[in-house]
Amino acid sequence: MSVPRRSVFRPCIDLHNGQVKQIVGGTLSESTPSSLRTNFIAEHSAGYFAELYRKHNLTGAHVIKLGPGNDAATKEALAAWPDALQIGGGINVINAKEWLEAGASKVIVTSYLFPGGKFSLDRLQVLSKVVGKDNLVVDVSCRRRGDKWLVAMNKWQDITNVEVCKESLDLLSEYCSEFLVHAADVEGLCQGIDEALVQKLGEWVTIPTTYAGGAKGRES
């Protein structure tokens, strides 16, 4: 018996230097920090937003650590709503269980799976075994290249060798319980979602999937 599909709103906390920010996709670079563009820097802390999400029962939220200096803010969010927030950013086989023990509901991984920009099935298999498939989200955030979408890593600066398509998603879904997909080309612009990507994801995915990027209103 098939489960009917439905769309739900899932909130996000992006952390940069300990602050909650909305960053325009792909502008965050360690080599050229002056390229950073934001359209929102919050006055409130990560814990404030986590408590707000808890109050309104906005489940499935995720916290993304964009670079160093974000662990304390992340732990503050987890303390505000334990076992309810997914954590991503710098997740690897060494620290993944630590974040789960700190109160993360799931861990989100991207760059660790792509040493040198090349996908490592071995790393995915080991990480899935260490934390458990049900506790793992694979981030396949991507950039468009021609008529394809390629997974982007390292704050969406580097393009990997994996295309987002039915075949790759079927393989990855054997080892994780959810996907997270930022359309990096439109992320943070608030000018509309990547409708073609959303349509394809609807055709391809077989596990819960969160799309992010470009929403400009409730119609998105």
Q: What tens digit of pLDDT does each residue of 162-199 get?
A: 999 999 999 999 999 999 999 988 876 567 799 999 99
In the sheet where 142-145 sits, what is the strand order? 142-145, 148-153, 158-163
**CATH no., domain 12-212:** 3.20.20.70
pLDDT digits (tens, 9 = 90+) for 117-168: 999 999 999 999 999 999 999 999 999 999 999 999 987 889 999 999 999 9
Q: Which position has the higher pLDDT, 212 or 189?
A: 212
Is beta strand 62-65 parallel, antiparallel or unpaired with respect to 12-16? parallel
Rounded to 5 degrees, φ, ψ at 87 are: -120, 130
Instruction: Report the pLDDT value the prediction gives residue 1, as an integer from 0 to 100.
Output: 45
Query: How far is Cα 20 from Cα 60, in angstroms, rounded to an integer?
Result: 18
Longest Cα–Cα distance of the chain, Å, equals 52
Give me the helix-helix angle, 46-55 and 71-80, nearest 10°.
20
> Where do the domains of the chain lie?
12-212
pLDDT at 31: 52
pTM of the model: 0.89
Read off the pLDDT of residues 61-91 as tens digits, 9 standing for 90 and up. 999 998 899 999 999 999 999 999 999 999 9
Q: Is 138 helix (H, G, I), strand (E, B) or coil?
A: strand
* Helices (H) then strands (E): counts for the chain: 6, 12
